[in-house]
Amino acid sequence: MAGNACPAGAENTGVPLGSERCGRLGRWRLRLPLRAVVATVSLLAIAGPVFGATTTRKVVTRIDISGTPVGGNPSGGSGTFTLRSGSTTDSGSMSYSFFGNPMKGSVTLTGKHGELDMSLTSRPSGLNVDSQGLDLWTGTWKIASGTGAYAGAKGVGAYLGIIGPNYQVKLHFEGFRT
């Protein structure tokens, strides 16, 4: 008889607990935890977007810059860039400047999809190969602001730069954008 017992208050039809024939209250009690889980998950799925909860997805971002210093001064100049970030590609003009010690800097990319401003922090390599400016720069970057398709973008990463003859600048940025 113990195998046929329904919960208290349920009609005992002689059918084991959990079956379709156990009284109405018995089925409810067995399914209550499952119903509570389903209701909670459904509520969270609906409430998340309503209350502004979002999931951020990191997108690998790569930017290559080629620049020429203004007036032979390696601390500032302009040039071109190419950007690959997920399925987004862009290219256009750029300007850069470096200042201070430790060296800080900024890069502004102006492409087909908008403008992207990045702040940089450089670490001196100490190579200073020759008087023509051959050197290696490393550092980190962070998106400061953006317009167009880049409005509201956030991102961080690292970069490696080679300063070539006559202070020609080649920088490669790798990181993530959200």
Residue 4 has pLDDT above 80, yes or no: no
Name residues whose C-beta falls within 8 Å of residue 119's C-beta, 6 or more positions apart in sequence: 104, 105, 106, 141, 142, 144
- What is the per-residue pLDDT for 134? 74
Name residues whose C-beta falls within 8 Å of residue 68's C-beta, 6 or more positions apart in sequence: 77, 78, 79, 168, 169
Cβ(78)–Cβ(107) below 8 Å: no
- What is the per-residue pLDDT for 155? 95
Residue 9 has pLDDT above 70, yes or no: no
Residue 129 pLDDT class (50, 70, 90 cuts): low
Residue 164 has pLDDT above 60, yes or no: yes
For each of the domains in the chain, give its residue range(s) and CATH number, in order of start: 2-50 (no CATH), 59-177 (2.40.350)
Residue 31 pLDDT class (50, 70, 90 cuts): very low
pTM of the model: 0.65
Lowest mean pLDDT among 15-24, 93-102, 141-150: 15-24
Mean pLDDT, the chain, rounded, equals: 76
Residue 49 pLDDT class (50, 70, 90 cuts): very low
